[in-house]
Amino acid sequence: MQRLSVQDLPAELARLATTGPAPLLLDVREPWETALARLELPHAALKCLPMREIPSRLAELDPQRPILCLCHHGMRSLQVAMFLESHGYPHAYNIEGGIDAWSRDVDPAVPRY
107 secondary structure, DSSP code: -
Between CA 105 and CA 63 the distance in angstroms is 30
Of these residues, 71, 80, 84, 92, which one is catalytic? 71
Q: In one letter, which amino acid is 37?
A: A
Active site residue 71: yes
Burial class (CB in 10 A: 0-12, 13-18, 19+), 110: middle
As annotated, the active-site residues are 71
